Amino acid sequence: MPLKKYIRDIQDFPKPGIGFKDITPLLIDPIARKETLDLLLSTIKNQKIDKVKGVESRGFFFGILLAEALNAGFIPVRKPNKLPYETISADYDLEYGTDTLEIHIDAIKKGERVLIHDDVLATGGTAKAVCELVERLGGEIVQCNFLMELSFLNGREKLGSKNIFAAITY
């Protein structure tokens, strides 16, 4: 199934000059959503995964589905002051500014195998910050898993030798 037909381009969102990839049509269609989940699972289904980290907020949609399919725990990675318990944080650069991500300090135990999932790999700043959080807590990153990759932004370069998979590449 050509999944790109379920991704809608929105110009000048959230700021002028930004081309936003809207995944709402993909989420609405149950067959496309299931095929996307199967594709995201295809490269990790035979690996032991203890935790899936979903990145706020669009990474939560497939992140929780991946965790369920893998019989793994789900860890939300959120913007500052959104998590109720003690956190650690990492700063990162965006295409249009800077931001911070946080995770609970007890979300990962040393040696746990972690799948990182987000909706898009763009410049790599968000993914690099999430990898840093996992590693600071002692987790082992099995894969960085994305719904989409904007390859022209070279985000893979920031992730070094990490195992990376994207269901759709632009």
Give a three-class secondary structure readout of 61-83: HHHHHHHHHHCCEEEEEECCCCC
Q: What is the pLDDT of residue 8?
A: 97
The residues spanned by each domain of the chain are: 46-169
Q: What is the pLDDT of residue 15?
A: 86
Catalytic residue among 33, 35, 56, 58: 58
Tell me which H or E stretch contains 149: strand 140-149
Q: What is the pLDDT of residue 142?
A: 98
Low-confidence residues of the chain: pLDDT under 70 = 95-96
Tell me how many degrees the CA angle 126-128-129 measures, rounded to the nearest 5. Answer: 65
Paired with 154 in beta bridges are: none
Q: What is the pLDDT of residue 111?
A: 98
Q: What is the pLDDT of residue 45?
A: 85
The answer to whether 150 and 120 have CB atoms below 8 angstroms apart is yes
51 to each of 10, 33, 143, 159, how far by Cα in Å?
Answer: 32, 21, 11, 19
Q: What is the pLDDT of residue 96?
A: 64
Catalytic residue among 35, 56, 86, 95: 95
Architecture of domain 46-169: 3-Layer(aba) Sandwich (3.40)
What is the spatial distance between Cα 7 and Cα 51, in angstroms, rounded to a whole number? 27
Cα dihedral 37/71/88/86 (nearest 10):
130
Tell me how many degrees the CA angle 37-27-54 measures, rounded to the nearest 5. Answer: 60
The answer to whether 105 and 90 have CB atoms below 8 angstroms apart is no
- Catalytic site includes residue 8: no
Q: What is the pLDDT of residue 105?
A: 98
- Catalytic site includes residue 132: no
Cα dihedral 63/64/68/72 (nearest 10):
70
